[in-house]
Amino acid sequence: MARRSLLRERCSASTAQGGPVDAVLVTRPANVRYLTGRPAPGSALLLGPDGTDTLVAPATDGPYSGGGHAVDELRTCQLAGEEGDTAVAAAQLAVSAGADSLAVEEHDLTVARHRAIAADRPGLRLTGLACAVEQQRVVKDDEELSALRIAAEITDQALGELLESILVGRTERHLALELERRLIDHGAEGPAFATTVGTGQNSGLARHVPTDRRVEEGDFLSVRLGARYRGYRCQIGRTFVIGTAPDDWQIELYDLVFAAQRAGREALLPGISCRDVDRATRQVLDAAGYAEALGTSTGHGVGLEIGEDPRLSPAAMGKLDACVPVTVEPGVHLPGRGGVRIDDTLVVRPAADGGPELLTITTKELLAL
């Protein structure tokens, strides 16, 4: 598989952490999935010194029927005993195949598992792989972008249907459930993250847990949802007004957040630094006196995880490349009154190709529902 070959090349070229590496052990679930193309909970992937790749799966507690598909040139083996650790077994394989050193994911492997490997194979030198796989995951290939596009399409469909239904009198909790059901009806594997619905004074909160508060005339209603498709997750956030005539403060606040979000979206071009995108979004709200309203970031990468690299924040390092999908998601919440959030998922593209590709296409007009 091309992704594993690329990782091998990068690791053998790198001498950063104590010389070139014989073998690589990948244990972080999203990284294993990325490198094998299949969900493999609890499994460890070994890129062996002999050029062989092996996926070591845990013992199951009974007959199993998985959802994965066979992948070229990947050996798989399954542990028999209940007590076995997949990482220890993979390290044993590495040594049998002639490895003197093994690069492990120190940000995933626990102290206990690391120690178990060292105790089991004392001659094996353990080094750090750092976030090599996460870095490789930042720029998406066509297969990944196509899964994200489908995830966004499903998300737009689920949201669109909700907007056509009667909302007044229904609770945040029921609306969130209905959105998640509609995601699945349209082909999602599940929600990409816990769906948020906030109405009235709960609107505009970043991480609101839906309550039994009912939607009322005059409320702001903010929703945030996303589909998971073939493991890939997208995110949309929208805010609406309930009833026919939004108040002046609602129009004003909406326009402000919309302007901030547009500034962020328009900044998304290959080569821009992540912190400059964040600044573009943030300064619109800062200038209007809402500097405190924003959290630590105004967007993030999406893919096999909902919050992956890069982060769009004042402290972020690095620049954006083409084919990197990110969210732009500013919001302002006024305690006791409510607020506005607008989130989109976009793919960075050069201006010559038309600039950023908007995946979540539901309208950002201030709809009165």
DSSP state of 60: P
Q: Which is nearer to a copy of itself, 146 or 171 (CB)?
A: 171
- Give residues 315-344 in contact with a copy of itself (rule: CB under 8 A): 315, 331, 333, 339, 341
The C-alpha torsion from 158 through 161 and 167 to 173, rounded to 10°, is -20
Distance CA 17, CA 10 (A): 13
Which of 71, 97, 206, 358 contacts a copy of itself by CB under 8 A? 206
Residue 289 binds to a copy of itself (criterion: CB under 8 A) = no
Residue 75 binds to a copy of itself (criterion: CB under 8 A) = no
Residue 122 binds to a copy of itself (criterion: CB under 8 A) = no
The residues, ordered by sequence, that sit 6+ positions from 219 with a Cβ below 8 Å of its Cβ are: 199, 200, 203, 241, 242, 243, 338
Q: How many residues lie near a copy of itself (CB under 8 A)? A: 48
3-state secondary structure of 269: coil
x/- binding map, residues 213-252, to a copy of itself, per CB under 8 A? ----------------------------------------
Distance CA 354, CA 369 (A): 32
- Least distance from C-beta 294 to a copy of itself, angstroms? 7
Q: Which is nearer to a copy of itself, 72 or 82 (CB)?
A: 82
Distance CA 216, CA 351 (A): 43
- Least distance from C-beta 322 to a copy of itself, angstroms? 25
Distances (CA, A) of 206 to 196, 251, 298, 342: 8, 20, 11, 10
- Give residues 252-271 in contact with a copy of itself (rule: CB under 8 A): none
Q: Which is nearer to a copy of itself, 257 or 357 (CB)?
A: 257
- Least distance from C-beta 231 to a copy of itself, angstroms? 13
Residue 90 binds to a copy of itself (criterion: CB under 8 A) = no
Long-range CB contacts (within 8 A, 24+) of 62-67: 66/38, 66/39, 67/38, 67/39
Distance CA 257, CA 329 (A): 9
Could you list the residues that contact a copy of itself (CB under 8 A)? 59-67, 81-83, 104, 106-115, 128, 177, 181, 184, 198, 202, 204-209, 293-297, 300, 311, 313, 315, 331, 333, 339, 341
